[in-house]
Structure 1
């Protein structure tokens, strides 16, 4: 007997009398304001439910929780229509919407999409290809993807080859239309294995935005000799057909690269082609094979400005501090701060305690980056006296004395410009060679301003300023760096003394007259070149002024108008085509090797290479695909 017939014996009709799902329940007993019913869908298990005579919400929740989908069977399979404003129609529509959404998601997750996700997971995290053969991983994917198949390791190798080939072609196509490029190179050694990395950078002609691509991440076998490194640089430049476009190669100040370019670059006063050296095959000599020489084309070397500043901090700063009167104070202060960092780094409880007291995460510096150490000192200095006292007490470390805190505060104030300059040089998108000279000049001025009020670091400031002049003297003497700075609208010639500006203006005019500016109307003009030249052959009005003189006069006028301008945005270069070309030529060079360091900085990539059992070739492909993922389409077709 269903609920409707049982209620028929009473004078008061319950809510179940008109409920569309009443046939799923059987009336059993009356219990005051409630009624007891049995769920027919739970049979043969007897499941008695209590519900109000005026509401069926409990029973509807039971259907949604235990028998989702029963709404498709109403009154023995005949579905009754309901109006939108009826109370149960909204809840039923919500359930149908959830089911429809699940069906759409299931249908949209195609096999190609699953393969793309697997490929991106392997490339982004440098995972082992053998992971695809693990039964647990295959079951996980098949369960998450509604039974979709997991591609095997052989298919993944094929896909990596295909996508890498497409990526390489795309990079070469982009570089084919570029006139000026800059490369950065570095060698990284870990786990007794050495890798050579190289990135390429250029400026888009239209948008003047910096573009980057990874070119190489290859294994260096044997000793890192000069000829091996020079051969890698040359081979990658030739492979991408950019050996004639590279303005400079930026490296750190380490002895391998300095020795390479000193060995293979030919001095300017020698009568020979520019930047040509010879690569002597040392391996062949050691193996008693016939000697083979290969002609090398190495570009100009540009030393990393960021690394030069790091050397000033790591060597000149410490030398001046160790020989000065503040040596003992410096060592005692940094020893306490280092103990503080060590506990926060190694003990989770200490880190949580610091966060709880200071209400902010406290940075722990990396060994190789001084600017990170500076930020960590700033965190300590920002603590109040109460916070610092409580923190030292709870961590069990010696409290900093007032003089030591004063030492740290002056440290944070004096060397703030130095930390800012380092961060500026390590940028990539908006950092150009023309930024280096003004930054170094501003850094020296700001350091000298601090000497008048410095109590602890006056002698150190003098030592750092002297070290800056010594280590950057080649840069200040570089004509290329001066032109790069002058063609940057933010600086122009404002950084030069008045006596040097006339000479620099003449130099810009000479350089500008030798470049071919790309004007907006150049395409339209080229369409009528043949007709104009044929008419010029007929008409003659006497001697003509040399074209070189006319071009130099036009370049001088353009340079003068540019130097008189006040706009600081790169957009103003669009009005000065010759200056724009000079900017592209000389500011393509980056001031630091930060991009190639980022190529090596992926967490655990070198460790993962051993764990994943990848060959050197496939490991290089994975690293380059990961690095170029933002510029190229590395997803599978």
Structure 2
């Protein structure tokens, strides 16, 4: 019998009972303090071995000398358990070592620093977060021992990133002939900032590109001189002062009067007076800091103009009309419903339960946001709206008020659509404004006859559109921008005005590119033929300028007669394309600079107070320009 059988029939306990190689031996007899066993591996030769009851060293030596490599028993009890534990610990150490090797190859200290840098910049985090013990433990735990960089290293990386961004952006702008900027002033937490963005069109792909160029802190008393100086300094810093076609701002009187005072046109009209004043200043030894300060022409924000029409002019028309009481009662109930949904989670849950949708509640004071919220409310049935009003304990809307609200949403849908067009950035050009306003007026007039409540209001809004956009419709730049947009060409103009517009386009081409008047060089044979044609002439010779003008007019007429609406067709008309680049680089809205201010966490977070004005500006510019500057992208 083997050793296991011996355990059952013998009371004698020995070291063989827990030995992992015991299955290779068979128990034979006791011999005092020793036992006699037979080696099963030596069969058929009988080989009896003697070993101590408390030790198996003799048997192990026999296995090592004679049967090297024999396997341990798989079902060993205590010995097997200890062996499994040792094996698991060994495998665990190997996996841990392999994991550390993989992490060390994939996650380096430089890559960890780049990820922390992106985290600080993208979320506008405080630099002091790097000093927090919890953040350091987090980085050390995720990277298997790598360290978080300190604030000094972060300052260095921000400075280097800002320098790379500025150099790359200046390199891009150096190859661009026409740019447009937007400017706005924003105040939050008792601090005022001037934000500026720059926009241009890629000549090859005709795609619009955008970048932020300024987020400067305005300290002290904000005056025309201080704002004009900052705008001029930003233009000079990026070498675009001579390339800026227009600067788009809102319609507020501060910006309008500012550009009226410092624009190039106003300075040229006052050359005589300024000359004598400057001479007097020089003679008295006073420094003339404003002599070189000039700003480009201003382009008023079209979306802001529509906002003014739908707020100021609309409210004035409603308050003076017969629907004043109905309008106020309807809007009071609408705002009461919004207030309950905004303040109480129960209200929003009730709206989702009854209407089977998330009810939009306007969180910002903008008409287009308010209009979208009204659209959601009108989509509810009368029964659902009544049930929601009862659930939230707000006054129930009467049938006439509901009809009034539905007509409001239907009548002013074109106006909301026009606002969305103007606030776009990639596919919005100055040439879009005139056709959009003309279409808006036509659609409002079409609904005027069938309106029950807003007939007089529509007439007032159309008159307000004519008044507020009068300067735009008289602008030659806006007309050229519209004419060079393939989607519109001259279809929006009266037939009697199109020939005059073609002549204007030809004149603009001749002024912006004088090289087109030069006669192109030809081969020797061609020169001989041309000289013979000149010799056998039967009238006055046409100047080369007239020949070139005829070519320009031919190109313009072919463009006007074309049917393509995409920008790709401009590649076939190089002169028209140049006009498009010059006049459609201008944006019709200040939406990009407003997005710069409204980026998540930039002006209203507490972390901003821990950043200096210089580094806060650098962080904002790095965030905004991460899409246009490839050097800011880290793997």
Bucket of the pairwise TM-score, normalised by the shorter protein: 0.7 to 0.9
1:131-280 equivalences in 2 (<5 Å): 131-265=129-263, 267=265
Distance 1:43 1:484, change over 3 A: closer
Instruction: Tell me, in whole angstroms, the C-alpha distance in 1 between the residues paired with 2:276 and 2:111.
Output: 50
Instruction: Tell me, in whole angstroms, the C-alpha distance in 2 between the residues paired with 1:315 and 1:279.
Output: 42
Distance 1:71 1:593, change over 3 A: closer
Aligned partner of residue 351 in structure 1, secondary structure: helix
- 1:58 corresponds to: none
Instruction: Tell me, in whole angstroms, the C-alpha distance in 2 between the residues paired with 1:221 and 1:72.
Output: 61
1:326-365 equivalences in 2 (<5 Å): 326-365=323-362
* 2:113 pairs with 1:115: yes
* Offset, 1:353: 2.3
* Offset, 1:618: 0.7
- What TM-score, normalized by structure 2, do the two folds share? 0.80
The answer (yes or no) to whether the contact 2:264–2:295 under 8 Å persists in 1 is no
* 2:628 pairs with 1:586: no
1:286-325 equivalences in 2 (<5 Å): 292-325=289-322
Instruction: Tell me, in whole angstroms, the C-alpha distance in 1 between the residues paired with 2:595 and 2:510.
Output: 38
Instruction: Tell me, in whole angstroms, the C-alpha distance in 1 between the residues paired with 2:73 and 2:476.
Output: 93
- 2:64 corresponds to: none
The answer (yes or no) to whether the contact 2:20–2:80 under 8 Å persists in 1 is no
Instruction: Tell me, in whole angstroms, the C-alpha distance in 1 between the residues paired with 2:277 and 2:149.
Output: 45
1:92-107 equivalences in 2 (<5 Å): 104-105=102-103, 107=105
Gaps of 5+ in 2: 1-17, 27-70, 279-285, 536-540
Instruction: Tell me, in whole angstroms, the C-alpha distance in 2 between the residues paired with 1:329 and 1:319.
Output: 15
Distance 1:620 1:385, change over 3 A: same
* 2:555 pairs with 1:555: no
Aligned partner of residue 496 in structure 1, secondary structure: coil
- 1:53 corresponds to: none
The answer (yes or no) to whether the contact 1:278–1:295 under 8 Å persists in 2 is no
* Offset, 1:605: 1.3
The answer (yes or no) to whether the contact 2:429–2:588 under 8 Å persists in 1 is yes
* Offset, 1:223: 1.9
The answer (yes or no) to whether the contact 2:126–2:607 under 8 Å persists in 1 is no
Distance 1:554 1:111, change over 3 A: same
Instruction: Tell me, in whole angstroms, the C-alpha distance in 2 between the residues paired with 1:506 and 1:330.
Output: 50
* Offset, 1:143: 1.0
Aligned partner of residue 184 in structure 1, secondary structure: strand
Aligned partner of residue 604 in structure 2, secondary structure: helix
- 1:420 corresponds to: 417
- 1:379 corresponds to: 376
* Count of residues paired in the alignment: 559
* Offset, 1:474: 0.3
Q: Deviations over 1:538-594 (max 9, x none)?
A: x96669743321221111000010011100010000000001000000000000000
Instruction: Tell me, in whole angstroms, the C-alpha distance in 2 between the residues paired with 1:631 and 1:306.
Output: 25
Q: Deviations over 1:394-434 (max 9, x none)?
A: 22222211111111111110000000000110000000000
Q: Deviations over 1:58-86 (max 9, x none)?
A: xxxxx9xxx4864999xxxxxxxxxxxxx
Instruction: Tell me, in whole angstroms, the C-alpha distance in 2 between the residues paired with 1:518 and 1:373.
Output: 53
Q: CA RMSD for the aligned pairs?
A: 3.6
- 1:40 corresponds to: 82
Aligned partner of residue 214 in structure 1, secondary structure: strand
* Offset, 1:197: 0.7
- What TM-score, normalized by structure 1, do the two folds share? 0.80
Distance 1:38 1:177, change over 3 A: same
The answer (yes or no) to whether the contact 1:2–1:27 under 8 Å persists in 2 is no
Gaps of 5+ in 1: 10-20, 29-36, 45-62, 74-95, 281-288, 520-524
1:536-551 equivalences in 2 (<5 Å): 545-551=542-548
* Offset, 1:515: 3.8
Picking from 455, 459, 463, the partner of 1:462 is 459
Aligned partner of residue 183 in structure 1, secondary structure: strand
The answer (yes or no) to whether the contact 2:179–2:243 under 8 Å persists in 1 is yes
- 1:483 corresponds to: 480
Q: Deviations over 1:182-216 (max 9, x none)?
A: 00000001111110011100000010000011110
* 2:391 pairs with 1:400: no
Instruction: Tell me, in whole angstroms, the C-alpha distance in 2 between the residues paired with 1:142 and 1:192.
Output: 39
Instruction: Tell me, in whole angstroms, the C-alpha distance in 2 between the residues paired with 1:150 and 1:23.
Output: 51
